[in-house]
Structure 1
Amino acid sequence: MGLCDSVRFWRWQHGSAGAFRAGVGVLLLGLSLAQSIPSQAVCRAVATQQNLTEYEYQGPEDTEETPNSGFLSAFVQSFLHTVQPNPLPKDLILELVQDVNKVLSNQDLVKEVLVYEVGFLVCAAIGVLYIVLMPLVGFFLACCRCCGNCGGKMYQKQSSSIHCRRRTLYWSTFITTAIILAGNICMFKSNEALKVTVDQTSEGLSETFDHINAFLTAVPQEVNHVVNESYKTIQEVTRNLETIGPQLGAEIQEQFRDTLWPALDAVRLLDEDTNNTSDQLNKLNTSLSELQSSVERLQANVTAVRNRINQTLSNPDCSGCDTLLSELQKLDTLDSAITIPNLKELQSAVDEVIKINLSSRVKEVEDYFNSIPQRVTDDTSDVVKSSKRLLNDIEAQISKLSDDIPLSTLNNITDTLVKLKRDIVKFTPELERGEQIRWSVCVALCCVVLLVVVCNFLGLILGPLGLKPKADPTKRSCMADCGGTFLMMGAGFSFLFSWLFMILVLVLFLLGGNVYTLVCRPWDNGQLLKLMDTPGLIPGFELGPSLGLKSEINISDVYKACEENKPLWTTLHLNEIIDLEDLLNVSKYTDQIQSFFDSADIGLSTITLLSPEVKDQLGSFSTKSKDVDSIDITPQINNVSSINLNTTADKLDQLANLQSNNNIKKELQDQSRDLRQIQADIDTIIIPQMENVNTSIAGLQSLAEKINGTVGEVLSKVGEAQDFLNTNTTQIVKTESQKFVDCQLGYFIVYADWANLTITLHVGRCGPVADAVDFAETLICLDVVESLNAFWFSLGWCMIFFVPSIILSIKLAKYYRKMKYSDIFE
């Protein structure tokens, strides 16, 4: 009747060990997407994978609004496109770089350079001609005027068209001066734009370096983040292995619970009902014993009284006593009126069931199944130790990821940028002082041009205000003469400074124009980066070999990839130097893991819940409990209740009153009193005791009915549970073990997806690099070169219009100046 009579052992099958092997074998590869693992109860909740925090780059912001230097961009670029329509001469530049020491000796190469620069040479020739002729013309003009020629004679011939010619010269001079003023305004604006750009350059460069340094610092942190997340997986799997007993054992218990626990609950209920039945039987036996004692005493009393009454009635001296002989028959029926039920068989059956001690059997089963986690822990202790040692080996392999990625190159770049930033900070004061001098010089140049404009406008204003058209030329007012003098001053200043300014225009034109055509324009259309891709252009600079790549990578391709904010994995073709699949593949450990778990035996026995002997006893108990249903003493209670000895006592009293014999009379009265006392005992003792017995029997019958159902339920559920355990114990253990293995495998599979996705698509998104290059292009080309080109273009514009301004001013001045000789036109 034991509950643990038979024991069977099971062994983990190859499939379970293989699955667990695969789970640990991919240990590097699993954590952050763990929320996508199919829900399994054996999987403890793992820490949610923290997504990679990508570095967000923001370009430097101007601290103040930069004056618009692009207002002349269209004009300047159109002019430069006309001067230099040819594309970037890649072949020519390569020849110059490769033969830099023999450039002058190579006539063909010099010829190619001159042909390419023919547009600039033509413009330079025009500028040189301007520089040479302007002072010569001014010198000869001054000499001629001093000799009284070339308008130097203070005489003006009067004619009918003189006023028309004066007005024509006036408006021509005004328009020319206005054009020069517009160019002068452009000079001021471009000079101020260049100053603001230079002032903000150091701050912008410093911010750009900071962002690049932050990006370069973030890349190792992102790689370490990926590695650290794999450590979390190792720690999680290690914890699962250390708690394999509680986790796996609890799941095995849970599979048995739905079938086993209802059976145990039924056994507990049967045990409770059996104890209640025993208590009820004890109570009934006590009541029956008391009733039996009372009945026996009653029957003895009735017999004694009946015998005395019979003797008295049989006395010859008793008169009329024959009539009461029939009453004696009622006393005879009283002796057999009460029958006590026999419950010995039921009591025996109850005692047998109690001896079984069902509660101890239930406790034994509970203790056995509560020990399953500890059994799993004990039987897998060697496997856990071996697996944990293997996890340490895999953890060491994970750390190689940081070593294989060329992070040292990034550190070298960081050191270079830090040094460059220090140099910029060091030379910033010198740059600011130099820029202040440059700005002051350019402002002075602008003011000189403005002086010519002011002289012209003063002449254009004072001349007409002081002029009387019909007045004699020798009698013109001082105001008109002053206006003519201002016009001559403007022409003199133009002659004096224009050729010097043209030298500056020529130098800035050759510098800024070539920078635009050779650097900025190719930079904008991508030709410059393609040129830099040419092998050998920059001696000692080979991006691919410096990173340890087998193939060469182009700077232009790197820039395009960074423009799209692609990761370093694809941008730098790191797959050529890092075999990520091989690095993350730990399948070489699978054979070891397989041998570990092939040697693991977890002993788990099946259980005999109720032995056949116990089932037979329960069946006998159920059968005998049915006999209680046939016990019914209610009729006996009714029979006893129908007995009324007081009637017989009354008749004895009546008969006693008729007796003349006092002895007989006294005997009849005593017998009547005894009958009344017996009737009182029946009413106060026997009937209540019989009712109490009847109540106990009713309670026992209720328990018996319940026991019949409970025994049937116990036998049914215990049979189902026993069949389930006998059939499914081994399979349950194997299935739950497989789930545990799959759970660990799930961690690694998800981490594999996350790690590969993160490393190949998210680590080191190089958008900040492209933004830094774009910032450099904006700073050099759109701010510095564009402002510089706008300045020389504006200055050259003014110098060109100085020529018509000189001619028109000199001619117009004679119409306002006071003449020495008069001429009259009628």
Structure 2
Amino acid sequence: MKVCEIMSGWRWQGSAGAFKAGVGVLMLGISLAQSVPPQNVCPAAAAPHSLTQPQYQDTADNDTSTGFMAALVQSFLHTVQPTSIPESLVLKIIHQSMFSQDLIKEVLVYKVGFLVCVAIGVLYIVLMPIVGFFLACCRCCGNCGGKMYQKQTSSIHCRRRTLYWSAFVTTIIILAGNICMFKSNDALTVSVEHSPMELKKTINNIHTFLTAVPQQVDHVVNESYTTIQRVTGNLNNIGPLLGAQVLKVFRGTLDPALNSFRLLDQETVNTSVILNKLNSSLAQLQSSMDGLEANVTTVRNRINQTLSKPGCTGCDNLMSELQKLTLNTSITIPHLQEFQVAVDEVNNTNLQSKITEVENYFNSIPQRVTNDTKDVVQSSKKVLGDIKTQISQAISDIPLSSLTNLSGTLDQVQREIDMVAPKVESGEHIRWAVCVALCCVVLLVVVCNLMGLVLGPMGLSPKADPTKRSCTADCGGTFLMMGAGFSFLFSWLLMLVVLVLFLLGGNVYTLICQPWKNGQLLKFIDTPGLIPGLEIGQYLGLKTNINISDIYRDCKYNQPLWTTLHLYELINLDNLLNVSKYTVQIRQNFENTNITLSTVKLLSPQVENQLSNFSSEAKNISSTSITQQMNYISGINLNNTADKLDEFAFNQTNNAIKKDLKDEAMDLRKIQSNIETTIIPQLENLNLTIESLRAIAEKINGTVGEVLSKVGVAQDFLNTNATQILKTESRKFLDCQLGYFIAYADYANLTITQQVGRCGPVAGAVDTVEMILCSHIVESLNAFWFSLGWCMIFFIPSIIFSVKLAKYYRKMKTSDVYDNLIIMNHIPRAQMKST
């Protein structure tokens, strides 16, 4: 049976240029297709994988801790400088080469808080040594408490206690400030020591970010290359893919017909075997029956001769028994020969060869698809190669080299940091030693005061004469005077340090750190014309300008570069990856493709007639006649006739006739025994074979009917649907490829706009620098000068209380006697009023 070509003349019609353009754009949107198994035209593509974001090191921007005195110092600085950075004033200072009087006045007005503090500091620096000098001169001259005489009054003890506790509280306050000085000094040292490492981590994070951006772009591009290779593999395997799917659809209808074919072929073979066995059994039984008939006929003739002898008494009575010895040994089955002919005709048709022929043809469909689509595959592969070249060219136009240049700049910065770090560390050791010395000076005053406050009361006897006070009390008073002296000696120098550090740290905080933290500094940097060449939008060729503060805000939320740098103004990604506008033309070209299928003839009319004849002959097979014949044979019983011969021989007087009759009776019994041992088993075997034939004959009718029905359905299906099936499955193959394109378009759009170049490390770097400079270094520095200034302020009451309290403990040179006597007041006498 010859089956026609299934796929011939698959040609793309329409505009070749439109087709290439459509495929070109679509290839920019190929999805992450997995390896295609040969049994499926369009396997389910894996979900698009998000880009693997680089791992960054933890830096100081994650440290939310602030200095232990930050709130107090910042509150003081906010009081000193309550207004924020004046942008207009800074712009005037930058743009004017000469400072006018109005500009100077405006600067002084803005810095009035700092000027007041500076004035207070200058007064302190000037007056403290002057006051100390004059106080020392006066005391040397015996004035200002310099005379070693103490007047004894009733309130002397109360005054001493008041001065003692006042001096004690003042000293504790100074000690607290001194502790804060030590702690802030150590905090500043730790901040400076850790700053190079934190800066290195920050630079490494920026370097990782700059390295990751080209890698992420390459990842998106490589996915398009990978998918182009996948689609190329699909085109190379179009036969196993599309042809196998078409065959799968065909087999949904053909397999039931072929299975019924196989079943009919097997039943036909089984029928032939049973028929051969039946013919063999009939021939063997007929041979046995012929021998039986010959033997019975011989014995009957002998009995007839014996009965015809003259000396036979009553022989006429046995003539009726001789009639029973006539056997009908002909065994026949009606319509068996016609059924045998029908079976032979079906066997001669060779159904198995036809099944094999059909299967071989349909199994060759994939190769036929491959052969018929060779030109289309070659042209499509050429388009894929062109698309790959276009993608490479498009990527080469992206200025990723600027990121490499920036990475080189970062490397240079890192080298500069490594060079400067040892010098900074050496300078930090010197600064730390100087600050420790300053802390020790303050601590010296505190120790002197505490020694005086401890030794004075310890050696003091309240009722003792001031000239006879103990050495312990006198040492206490001396320590108090030493504390006052050291305060006068060093306070102006310490205040000078406070003033310098206040101007440095306070202005850095108010002008840089505070605006930096609240975002005003970045907004100020965004001021047009402030920094030439900072027009990022103009540099990128955007329609709108991009502010540094906007970039920082977006990077703070870890936004991608697509939205942060407004790249959507440069590239219309939606239009570039919009493949839907091309699919209409491609589908229209596909619909216009001329795909035809010739008819497939599964059964010829001659074979159908043979199968119908086979089924009708199987219905004509009847076992009734042969059963009756077998029942007749199995009902033969020669023993009855033998018994009558023995009975008749017993009544004979002629011994010869008597002996002949007994011999003939014995022969009949031997024949009957032969029937039971030979013919009866043959009858049983024949009966089983007939039953098998009857059972299979009953099934043949249904099997043939099923074959004719299913083959008819399959034939109608192929005649009416084969061409449409090929079109449908081919359309599915195309839809699969378009689905890959659309999936990648969505993936690329999502990846580029939401995942490529998330600039969180950039904001993190800004936050880290702000944290290092402001939250660590500047806050520690401000805490140090604030603590030192705190101590200097309380040096003044400490000097006053120490000097006054020292006289209550030191040994006086002259004494004053105070008698605790009762003073009697004069009571006036009453007088009579004159009339």
Please say whether Structure 1 and Structure 2 have the same fold, judged by a TM-score greater than 0.5. yes
Contact 1:23/1:745 (8 A) holds in 2: no
Partner of 1:774: 767
Partner of 2:50: 51
Contact 1:21/1:594 (8 A) holds in 2: no
Partner of 1:89: 86
SS at 1:340 equivalent: coil
Q: Match of 1:394, as an amino acid?
A: I
Shift of 1:785: 1.2
SS at 1:785 equivalent: helix
Question: How many angstroms apart in 2 are the aligned matches of 1:475 and 1:62?
Answer: 66
Q: Match of 1:368, as an amino acid?
A: Y
Distance 1:651 1:198, change over 3 A: closer
Partner of 2:566: 573
SS at 2:621 equivalent: helix
Question: How many angstroms apart in 2 are the aligned matches of 1:658 and 1:821?
Answer: 198
Please, which moves more after superposition, 526-535 or 759-768? 759-768
Map 1:364-375 → 2, pairs under 5 A? 364-375=357-368
Q: Match of 1:52, as an amino acid?
A: L
Q: Match of 2:422, as an amino acid?
A: P
Distance 1:762 1:5, change over 3 A: closer
Determine if the alignment matches structure 1 residue 221 to structure 2 residue 215: yes
Contact 1:33/1:751 (8 A) holds in 2: no
Query: Could you report, residue by residue, the CA deviation over 1:86-112 in whole angstroms, capped at 9, with x for unpaired residues?
Result: 22111111122223xx243x2222221
Please, which moves more after superposition, 445-454 or 647-656? 647-656
Please, which moves more after superposition, 6-15 or 358-367? 6-15
Map 1:397-408 → 2, pairs under 5 A? 397-399=390-392, 402-403=395-396, 405-408=398-401
Map 1:389-428 → 2, pairs under 5 A? 389-399=382-392, 402-403=395-396, 405-428=398-421
- CA-based RMSD of the aligned residues comes to 3.7
Shift of 1:357: 0.6
Contact 1:181/1:450 (8 A) holds in 2: yes
Question: How many angstroms apart in 1 are the aligned matches of 2:196 and 2:365?
Answer: 73
Partner of 2:606: 613
Q: 1:189 aligns with which of 161, 166, 183?
A: 183
Question: How many angstroms apart in 1 are the aligned matches of 2:34 and 2:231?
Answer: 12
Q: 1:715 aligns with which of 674, 690, 708?
A: 708
Question: How many angstroms apart in 2 are the aligned matches of 1:808 and 1:613?
Answer: 138
Q: 1:330 aligns with which of 311, 318, 324?
A: 324
Determine if the alignment matches structure 1 residue 245 to structure 2 residue 239: yes
Query: Could you report, residue by residue, the CA deviation over 1:373-427 in whole angstroms, capped at 9, with x for unpaired residues?
Result: 1111111122122212212222233345644554333323322222212211222
Q: Match of 1:31, as an amino acid?
A: S
Distance 1:269 1:162, change over 3 A: closer
Distance 1:278 1:438, change over 3 A: same
Shift of 1:124: 1.2
Q: 1:344 aligns with which of 315, 326, 337?
A: 337
Partner of 1:272: 266
Determine if the alignment matches structure 1 residue 795 to structure 2 residue 788: yes
Distance 1:771 1:304, change over 3 A: same
Contact 1:223/1:763 (8 A) holds in 2: yes
Shift of 1:755: 1.8
SS at 1:545 equivalent: helix
Shift of 1:725: 1.9
Shift of 1:113: 1.1
Q: Match of 2:508, as an amino acid?
A: V
Question: How many angstroms apart in 2 are the aligned matches of 1:228 and 1:383?
Answer: 26
Please, which moves more after superposition, 667-676 or 631-640? 667-676
Please, which moves more after superposition, 181-190 or 813-822? 813-822
Contact 2:289/2:329 (8 A) holds in 1: no
Partner of 1:206: 200
TM score, norm. by length of structure 2: 0.88
Query: Could you report, residue by residue, the CA deviation over 1:120-163 in whole angstroms, capped at 9, with x for unpaired residues?
Result: 11221222222222222223333333344433344444444444
Distance 1:615 1:467, change over 3 A: same
SS at 1:338 equivalent: coil
Determine if the alignment matches structure 1 residue 623 to structure 2 residue 622: no
Q: 1:538 aligns with which of 504, 514, 531?
A: 531
Map 1:21-60 → 2, pairs under 5 A? 25-32=25-32, 41-44=40-43, 46=45, 49-60=48-59
Q: 1:72 aligns with which of 69, 85, 100?
A: 69
**Identity score, percent:** 65
Distance 1:285 1:125, change over 3 A: same
Distance 1:353 1:20, change over 3 A: farther
Distance 1:146 1:289, change over 3 A: closer
Partner of 2:830: none
Map 1:323-722 → 2, pairs under 5 A? 323-331=317-325, 333-334=326-327, 336=328, 338-341=330-333, 343-399=336-392, 402-403=395-396, 405-584=398-577, 605-645=598-638, 688-722=681-715
Question: How many angstroms apart in 2 are the aligned matches of 1:762 and 1:734?
Answer: 40
Shift of 1:646: 5.4
Distance 1:668 1:71, change over 3 A: closer
Q: Match of 2:134, as an amino acid?
A: F
Contact 2:27/2:387 (8 A) holds in 1: yes
SS at 1:43 equivalent: coil
Contact 2:61/2:771 (8 A) holds in 1: no
Question: How many angstroms apart in 2 are the aligned matches of 1:85 and 1:244?
Answer: 77
Shift of 1:603: 6.5
SS at 1:26 equivalent: helix
Distance 1:5 1:477, change over 3 A: closer
Shift of 1:796: 1.6
Please, which moves more after superposition, 18-27 or 802-811? 18-27
Contact 1:20/1:745 (8 A) holds in 2: no
SS at 1:709 equivalent: helix
Distance 1:321 1:56, change over 3 A: same
Partner of 1:724: 717
Contact 2:61/2:768 (8 A) holds in 1: no
Determine if the alignment matches structure 1 residue 144 to structure 2 residue 138: yes
Q: Match of 1:93, as an amino acid?
A: V
Contact 2:501/2:782 (8 A) holds in 1: yes
Contact 2:513/2:774 (8 A) holds in 1: yes
Contact 1:474/1:819 (8 A) holds in 2: yes
Q: 2:248 aligns with which of 244, 254, 263?
A: 254
Question: How many angstroms apart in 2 are the aligned matches of 1:298 and 1:69?
Answer: 128
Distance 1:825 1:678, change over 3 A: closer
Distance 1:112 1:289, change over 3 A: same
Query: Could you report, residue by residue, the CA deviation over 1:523-562 in whole angstroms, capped at 9, with x for unpaired residues?
Result: 1221111101112222333333344434221111111112
Question: How many angstroms apart in 2 are the aligned matches of 1:694 and 1:176?
Answer: 134
SS at 1:633 equivalent: helix
Question: How many angstroms apart in 1 are the aligned matches of 2:477 and 2:554?
Answer: 67
Shift of 1:437: 0.7
Query: Could you report, residue by residue, the CA deviation over 1:688-735 in whole angstroms, capped at 9, with x for unpaired residues?
Result: 545544443333222221212211121122112222222221222222
Contact 2:13/2:589 (8 A) holds in 1: no
Distance 1:141 1:593, change over 3 A: same
Question: How many angstroms apart in 2 are the aligned matches of 1:8 and 1:409?
Answer: 55
Question: How many angstroms apart in 2 are the aligned matches of 1:493 and 1:337?
Answer: 157
Question: How many angstroms apart in 2 are the aligned matches of 1:311 and 1:380?
Answer: 96
Distance 1:639 1:825, change over 3 A: closer
Distance 1:408 1:731, change over 3 A: same
Query: Could you report, residue by residue, the CA deviation over 1:181-209 in whole angstroms, capped at 9, with x for unpaired residues?
Result: 22222222221211111121112222222
